[in-house]
Chains A and B, each alone.
Chain A
């Protein structure tokens, strides 16, 4: 039934496709404005110097802290490298730095309400838990693998 219905759908004209894409995008504008607003508030109140105080408590905790802090921080991916550079100069470990950068780009607490309303609470919960765990594992494995290679 579903296949037949899909088969019967006609290919839109290019103008129709652009119109549909634009309408679809603008229907998300309140959500996008909300996320940007929340990110701006977070960036104002959470500064890099505050972040560096969380590290230096052993490999396991550093990876966990890096992932957690990366997840609560938001913004352009390039900023994560600038912050990581600053954290490195404070003696923060590679484990923490890589987990921080990975979490910054793949996890974001400020995006959670938006992600849940688009893809559903279950997918958002599964994905974020898995991403959190993957980030912890990758941070550990990467440092260990590099040590074995060099």
Chain B
């Protein structure tokens, strides 16, 4: 059986050290921190299940070649469209989606589409009533249109930046 390669162990160690430091010097706040930690865990568990389900469905229904077609170098407008829709519909914190994005990246998902997906997440459909209550309907519509435009632009810029770097690397490789 393939051994699991855990990611973020060093990061976890750093957070544990911070926690131990706080436990030694500010113990009064520890129950507060633990309370927030457990309440976040409870809220996020259904999202974990959703992410695992979506990743499994993508692995099952889309072959690597299809993932490359929809989200890879030649995905074009369709890729942007799916990234925006995915970002708008995705729930929960960003880090819960890292495993799925990482999995898809190994199959050719473009960096630009990851950036588009991440920024499109600023459109939160369930929270639109809060936004309307705070800013009004017109402002809410304007902001969300701008978010989608800038999500698209961000993806384009990231693609250009990372492609240029790849080109520079390949030119220097050839010179060697």
* Residue B99 at the chain A interface, CB threshold 8 Å: yes
Contact between B6 and A30, CB atoms less than 8 A apart:
yes
- A37–B36 Cα distance when bound, in Å, is 9
Taking a contact as CB atoms under 8 Å apart, the answer to whether B114 and A138 are in contact is no
User: Once the chains are docked, how many angstroms separate the CA of A88 from the CA of B99?
Assistant: 37
| A37-B37 Cα distance, complex, nearest whole Å | 6
Contact B36 A44 (CB under 8 A): yes
In the complex, chain B residues 130-160 whose Cβ is within 8 Å of any chain A Cβ? 130-131, 134-135, 138-139, 142-143, 146-147, 150, 153-154, 157-158
A118 to B94, CA, bound (A): 12
Please state if A27 and B99 are interface contacts (CB–CB under 8 Å): yes
Interface-located stretch among A14-22, A48-56, A57-65: A14-22
Bound-complex Cα distance A106 to B52 (A)? 22
Q: Are A106 and B122 in contact (CB under 8 A)?
A: yes
Asked if B33 CB lies within 8 Å of chain A CBs, one says: yes
Which residues of chain A have C-beta atoms less than 8 A from B89's C-beta? Answer: none
Identify the closest chain B residue to A39 (Cβ).
B40
Binary flags per residue of A1-24, CB closer than 8 Å to B gives 1, else 0: 001001101011110011011111
Considering the complex, give the chain B residue whose CB is closest to the CB of A22: B52
Name the residue on B nearest A131 (C-beta): B119
Does the CB pair A44–B32 fall under 8 Å?
Answer: yes
Q: Once bound together, how far apart are the Cα atoms of A13 and B22, in whole Å?
A: 47
* Closest Cβ–Cβ distance, residue A100 to chain B (whole Å): 11
Question: Is A71 interfacial (CB-CB < 8 Å)?
Answer: no
**CB within 8 Å for A138 and B146 given contacts A43-B36, A81-B130, A127-B158:** yes
Interface footprint category on A: 35 or more
Interface residues of B in 6-33 (CB under 8 A from A): 6-9, 11-12, 14-16, 18-19, 22, 29, 32-33
Nearest CB of B to A87, in Å: 10
Knowing A24-B103, A76-B43, the reply to whether A118 touches B134 (Cβ < 8 A) is no
Contact A32 B60 (CB under 8 A): no
> A7 to B65, Cβ gap below 8 A?
yes
B138 CB contacts on chain A under 8 angstroms: 146, 149-150
B78 at the interface (CB under 8 A from A): no
Residues of B within 8 A of A44 (CB): 29, 32-33, 36
- Distance in angstroms between the alpha carbons of A94 and B8 in the assembled complex: 38
CA distance A118 to B118 in the complex (A): 14
Residues of A within 8 A of B130 (CB): 78, 81
Chain A residues whose C-beta falls within 8 Å of the C-beta of B95 in the assembled complex: 31-32, 35, 111, 114-115
Residue from A38, A75, A138 within 8 A of B15 (CB atoms)? A38
B173 to chain A: which residues have CB within 8 Å?
none
A-B residue pairs in contact (CB < 8 Å), sample of 5: A9-B65, A22-B52, A31-B12, A35-B93, A143-B139
